[in-house]
Amino acid sequence: MQNERSDNMARNTTSNSEASLTAALQPVIRNLVKDMRSRLTEDAALHQTWVTEHARAQAADRIGASFEEWSEEQLQQAAAGWVLTTVFLRFIEDNDLFGTRQVFLTGYDADRRSLGRDYEAALYQAHSDYSYRAYLTHCFEQLADVPATKDLVGPHAAIHIIDPSDDAARGIIEFFRALDADENTRWTFNDPERSTRFLGDLYQDLSEYAQKKWALKQTPNFVEEFILDRTLTPALEERPLEGFKLIDPTCGSGHFLLGAFHRLVTEWEKHAPAMPAPERAKKAMQSIHGVDINPFAVAISQFRLTVAYMQAAKDTRLTERESKPGFTVLAGDSLLFGPDAVGQGALNLQAQNFVYSTENADALDEILTPGTYDVVVGNPPYIEVKDPILKKQYKSRYSRYIKGQYNLTIPFMVLFYNLATNGSANIPAGWTGQITGNSFFLKPFGVSLVENFFTEVDVREIIDTAGAHIPGHGTPTVIIIGRNSAPSRRKIVGVIGLEGEPTTPADSSKGLVWTSIVNNIDESGYEDSYISVQELSRDFVSSHPWNLHGTTISQTAEWIQEKSKKTVGEITDAVGRTTHTGLDPAYFIPKNRSLTKFSETVEVATGSNIRDYLIINCNVTLFPYDSIGNSITPHFEEQKHYWTYRSRLQKRTDFGKTVEQRGLRWFDHTMFFPDRYQRKLCLPFPFVATHNHFSLNRDNRVFNQKGPAIIMPNEASEEDHLRLLGVLNSSTACFWLKQNSHGKGIGGVNQESRHELFDEFYEFTGTTLKKFPLPDLEGSDVTERGRRLDALAQELATYEPAAVFTNGTPNQETIDEAEANYVRVRRLMIAEQEELDWAVYFLYGLTDTDMSLPAGSVSGIELGSRPFEIALARRVDAGETTTAWFERHHSTPVTEIPDSWPEAQRVAARARLDLMASDKSIKLLEAPEYKRRWSDDLWTDKVHTALGDWLLTRLETPELWRRADGMPQPRTIRELAAQVETDPDLADVLSVLPLWSTRRGATVEKMLDDLLKGEAVPYVASLRYRNRGFAKRAEWEATWDAQRREDAGEITAEAVPVPPNYSSADMVPTAWKHRGKLDVPKERFISYPGASPEGDSTLLLGWAGWNDLDKGLAIFSTFADRADEDADTETLAGILAGLVEALPWIRQWHNDLDPQFNLKMGDYLEAQLAEAARSLSIPVEDIPAHAPKPATRGRKKTSK
């Protein structure tokens, strides 16, 4: 039996197991949330209580979220509370922590399972009115009877937020009683070591919602141990154990607290070996304090610490002690509670009469008193705050150190130091240690932290961990060690990152970078391939920005600076965006949609559109201005669109004021710069990218924050722009920009593999770019090189499949010809870029002679054969390194200079390879992270996409979607296929479909089905939304109703609620793909699932280019057609549900007297709806209840 038990434990509680407990519990959480949401909706009194609670939270400035968003968070916490408390109970049962064979729910073997069933039966016999929920609650109450576990279910526990239904409680019970295929308990928790590490996995991954909201990630043990080594160890050397205090104000699942506790137990064993183990354990635990904003994280910490205390006390049961273990871990926002650093409460939450049920305000104020702790450690979040009210609150409380936009690194850095003892009254200054984001190094929001705060405290160690592989920390990080005292005279230890891990280590704690940090941090002057240990001056640490570089990097950067004659800022008028909508999803639309619906648009280039000298594949933005930037009155379609999002548009703020408070129209872009817009020549670039990409814009476009532009003076010529274009696109410029810009990792807080430096994204700000040092360009050929590359780029754009297909019907011959020309021009660009890079080296004095060949004199070269790539391939071939460079860029590595190159290029390549081998600066600059990537989609993929777009545009021909009398005409895919096959006007579609399709010999119907099924969004809400999406849609509808009342003069604008954003979980995939977080219709087609004619199983489609009236008429005509076929009542009522949704818009926008029909079409359709509903014997108000439901996939029966 023991073998069975240990095997089950290994199989079911290991986070890497295929059938892990964490993964299995995620759907349980989702179902619980859904159940609790239903209870909240159906119980009017409970719902009103929550609405009142939400209003109080808003009034107290605790949140800015809508009721739906706020209630979702509460439901998630409640669901997690019920599940985790059951996990705790199961752990206690299986490990006999309440006594031998004390089982309440179930057990790890048949005997114990029987005990659990018997306990339940006895309970029901004693309490005939008990339900499953009452039974589970009774089990929880057993925890309340034991001092050690009382707080897990105390008044501040999340289980008290809301109860699940009886069925949902039964689901929890049945989950933990489930058996595997061998009739063994599937989820067992008995473990001789009583390890609670698996609870850390639960903390991180139990709730997808919580993980996204707070970017939850466990701190790896090796990082926690390192930080404790640098803080707790020296702190213990200089002060007594008695009364020692440590806190983690962002404790998560308790890793730092557990690590500290174990060390303190060891210290007490040394200090008082005769003291009984329970007393030592309690004294150690009394030192432990923690706070976390996430209640279920706190519950996990409390339980883990409780088990750790029991083990240290050498107890076998939790019931052996009459008192609590002694630690203090609370749920609450550590940035809001507690007095500020000078002892005055900056935000008295109790005075505002609002705290959450999970918060103990008095205890939080006490635990967060500044100057209290000997050690403050943790891994605080460093994400940006999304809730506008919370963001404002934090900024107010830490106003001295927060300026402009910021992330949580700033307030938490200040908090950590403030909580530490300040060295007065014979108490040594407290130690602080944290791993946090390094974005403050270079970003403007870090200025006040560095220059105002770090000048007041004793920063001891700055450890750049961006190159180390730290699981869960893809965003570049730094470890800061210090003391809460005035700066000391001692030098600051700086560990500077040089290179990242060459490969992802199997064991991150033994990675080359991390090992080098741990082994050499105390060796000043040490340097290897990965780190450099330096002494940093106080002046350096108190001056922003922080540029932490190794020797070669520093020397190269200094040399570039010394050769500078001017900066970009000195020769330009501005660097920044030309417009800022303030709500991009409401303005940005695909170009194909603008052609069919809107007329007041211009192209908008964001960062992703600007690559390799080109600006392509742009969307458009709604643009209420004329060609010189003057305001215009929007046309009817634009007015309708703006009205739909009016409440959100009116609430846009910049500089602390709404758009109307700043004297603008509520639908204007919140910041538009007409003067910049009028400069048709400018140099846009991506704000965030892995490499530098500058292009010359000559067209009528706007540029936003993600794709800002360099604006030169009015008198600047095209040559002036081309000269700057050449320098800024060089590898030297890439190097300088990366050294002076904030690195953002490889694209996400949860990305972990960071060893390929060329993959790291950087934020190229206008402030940084203005400082870019320009060399003396007089007499140089950089202008001609910029002109050459720009001209080649413009030619290349004409060979893009999308551009080629605008000239006529696509065919294989034109595709092949375009590909040959595309390859030819692209190879020329690669060759010319190489010459540009080497020409710029000479301009900065990095080479003694100009080693470039004249512009226009080189032949094209293949990607993968540039000199730096040859050197890289040789290193790979010799086993010196590994890289994904060639695979990622679809290139073939070569180790020798190609024989096919002209002799001049071969000679130049040999000279460059030799110099790279002997000159450290050139070797540095000729590295993949600074060289142009020439990343591109595969040609076949581009052709397939362009053919699809061409076909879709052809199928949007308006005449296809109207009858001869002009009325809208939905069509099934089968009907469309028949027309494509027989209509001479659609012969081009018939010829292109086989070019696009990947199915050999497919029918036209099948090819059209493949093409169109992902391009249509359902006509009715019941088929567009899922999960919380329905509640959010209801909030939007309430907003629209309020706006109509506002327009009628019944209420003021202030009374109109602001609806929430949607998420991908709120919509079916096709709706999310085309509409996004504001549900803006951007699809090409409408689908009517279940409404196709009898005998036609293909999908019925409509055209999204119809106006609201057309859409309503199409729905009603579909109803009439199906009624003529004697369709069943549910089908007909479902179709009418779409008309019910459409009518408010038709009445709002299309109820004037129609001259053609002499009718008010809104009134007409409303009357038709009423008559149709009568014919079905269903009241109109009940029609929405018959809306069609999504088709469900059948499941295979499982054997038991």
Residue 14: the pLDDT is 37
Give me the number of domains the chain comprises. 5
Q: Assess whether 580 and 688 both reside in one domain.
A: yes
Domain boundary residue, one of 358, 378, 398: 378
Cross-strand partners of 672:
579
Last residue of a domain, one of 348, 378, 408: 378
- Identify the CATH number of the domain in which residue 526 sits: 3.40.50.150
Which residues, in sequence order, are CB contacts of 1184 under 8 Å at separation 6+? 1137, 1140, 1141
Q: Model confidence over 1096-1108: pLDDT tens digits?
A: 999 999 999 999 9
Q: What integer is the mean pLDDT of 312-333? A: 90
657 within a domain of the structure (yes/no): yes
First vs last C-alpha separation in the chain? 23
Q: How far is CA 111 from CA 91, 94, 186, 390, 608, in A?
A: 17, 12, 15, 52, 62
**Per-residue pLDDT at 1059 exceeds 50:** yes
Using the 8-state DSSP alphabet, how is residue 1115 labeled?
A: H
917 falls within a domain: no
Tokens of 28: 């349980």
The whole-number pLDDT of residue 547 equals 85
Q: Please identify, among 767, 800, 815, the residue that sits at the C-terminal boundary of a domain.
A: 767
Residue 533 lies in a domain: yes
419 and 374 assigned to the same domain: no
370, 416: one domain: no
pLDDT at position 571 is: 96
Q: Which of 317-331, 898-912, 1096-1110 bottoms out in mean pLDDT, i.e. has the lowest?
A: 317-331
Indicate if the pLDDT at residue 212 is higher than 50: yes
Same domain, 394 and 370: no
173, part of any domain: yes
682/1121 Cα distance (integer angstroms)? 56
Same domain, 715 and 727: yes
Query: Is it the case that residue 755 has pLDDT exceeding 80?
Result: no
Alpha-carbon span 461 to 36, nearest angstrom = 48
Rounded average pLDDT over 43-49: 94
1095 compared with 322, residue with greater pLDDT: 1095
The per-residue pLDDT for range 394-407, each reduced to its tens digit, is 999 999 999 888 99
The amino acid at 365: D
Q: Let me know: does 458 contact 561? Beta carbons within 8 Å.
A: no
Name the pLDDT band for 343 (thresholds 50, 70, 90): very low
Mean pLDDT across the chain: 92
- 576 in the same domain as 544: no
Q: Is residue 404 part of a domain?
A: yes
pLDDT reported for residue 349: 55
| d(C-alpha 837, C-alpha 1188), whole Å | 61
DSSP string over 78-144: HHHHHHHHHHHHHHHHHTTTTSTT--SS--SSHHHHHHHHHHHHHHHHH-TT--HHHHHHHHHHHHH
- Report the alpha-carbon distance of residue 774 to residue 566 in Å, rounded: 5
Which pLDDT score is estimated for 1019?
Answer: 98
Quote the pLDDT of residue 321.
Answer: 79
The percent of residues above 90 in pLDDT, for the chain, comes to 81
Domain range for residue 273?
Answer: 244-378
Secondary structure element (H or E) that encloses residue 301, with its range: helix 295-312
My answer on whether 172 and 307 are in the same domain is no
342 and 473 in a single domain? The answer is no
DSSP 653: E
Percent of the chain with pLDDT over 70: 95
374 and 405 in a single domain? The answer is no
Residue 384 has pLDDT above 60, yes or no: yes
Q: What is the mean pLDDT of residues 334-342?
A: 79
Q: Express each pLDDT in 572-583 by its tens digit.
A: 999 999 999 999
